[in-house]
Amino acid sequence: MIRRFVRQMLVSLAVFAGVLFAFSRVDWMQVFGLDHGIIEEKLGEMYWELFSESEVFVDDDTLIAPLDTLFSALCQANGIDRNEVALHLVECEEVNAYACPGNHLVVYTALVAECRSEAELCGILAHELAHIERGHVMQKLVKELGVATLAAMLADGGALTEVMQVLTSTAYDRTLEAEADDVAVHYLLAAGIDPRPFGDFLLRLSQEEDLPALAEWISTHPDSKKRVQAIYTLAEGEGHNSAFRSLMPEDEWEAYRLRFVKVK
C-alpha cells in the first residue's frame, strides 16, 4: 500500500514538473496575440510620461553634448540608428544607468562622476545599449511581472510604478547579463574603444565599501570576479591587435567629469 502511494506521488510529481516545463517553453505573448514591439512602444509612452514627472533632467548642452558624442560613436560604429534610442541625462546621486521601454536610456549624473575615463562610461553605455538592442527590457518585464499584468497596464495605465521599480531595482538574469556584457565588448571594439576599463569600473565599484548606497548600477547588475574576468578575456582575445582611440583628451575628460561632481 505504501509503495503504491509512493509510486503515485512520484508519478504526480513527474507530471507536475513536466507541465511546468512545458508552460515555461510557451511564448505567451504570441499565444495571446500580443506583439512585443507594440507593447513596448505603448508601455514606453506611458512609462516615460510618469518618469518625466518625477525626475530632474539636465538641459545644459555643454553637459549633454559630450555624452551624446560618445553614445553616437558607439551607435555609428555598430550600424545602430542613433535616432532610434533616446538618451537622457538625469540629476541624481545614485550611481546608475538603465534602459527603459520604448528605447529610452537614462544616465544619472552621479554615474558620470564615478567614471575615471571616457572608456568606462562608454562601457556602461554599450552595456545598456545591448539590453535595448537585444530586447532584454521586455524579457525582464515579462519575467518579473507577467503577461497579464503588462496587458492590464496597457488597458488602464495602472501599476506603472511597478515597471519603474523592476527596471531600477531588480537584476537581469545571468544569461541576459552575460549577453549584454559580450555584446558591449564587441560594440566597444567596433568603435575602437578599449573594453577593459569597463571591467575595471565593475570591479572597482563592487569593492568600494563607502559607496554601496550609491552604487545602484552594481546592485542591479550583479558583479562577480568571473563576470569581470570574462570581459577581460573577451576584450584581450577579440581585440589583441586593435589600436584603441580616445574620443576626448584625458584632461578634457577630467574637466568634464568634475562638473558632474559639482552637480552631485
Contact 97, 217 (CB under 8 A): yes
Confidence of residue 142 (pLDDT cuts 50, 70, 90): confident
DSSP-assigned states of every residue in 114-182:
H-SSHHHHHHHHHHHHHHHHTTHHHHHHHHHH-HHHHHHHHHH-TTHHHHHHHHHHSPPPHHHHHHHHH
* pLDDT, greater one: 76 or 47: 76
Calpha distance 18→9 (Å, rounded) = 14
Amino acid letter at 204? R
Q: What is the pLDDT of residues 152-183, one digit of tens each?
A: 665 555 556 666 666 666 677 888 889 999 99
Asked if residue 11 has pLDDT above 70, the reply is no
Any idea which residue has 551624446 for its cell? 68
pLDDT at 124 over 90: yes
Distance CA 112, CA 171 (A): 21
Classify 255 as helix, strand or coil: helix
Q: How many domains does the chain have?
A: 2
**3-state secondary structure at position 57:** strand
Q: Which domain range does residue 3 map to?
A: 1-27
At 195-221, the pLDDT tens digits run: 999 999 988 887 775 554 445 666 666
Which helix or strand (DSSP H or E) is residue 106 part of? strand 104-108
In this structure, the answer to whether residues 11 and 116 fall within a common structural domain is: no
Is the same domain home to 243 and 127? yes
Same domain, 155 and 259: yes
Instruction: Give me the pLDDT at residue 242, please.
Output: 75
Whether residues 16 and 57 fall in one domain: no
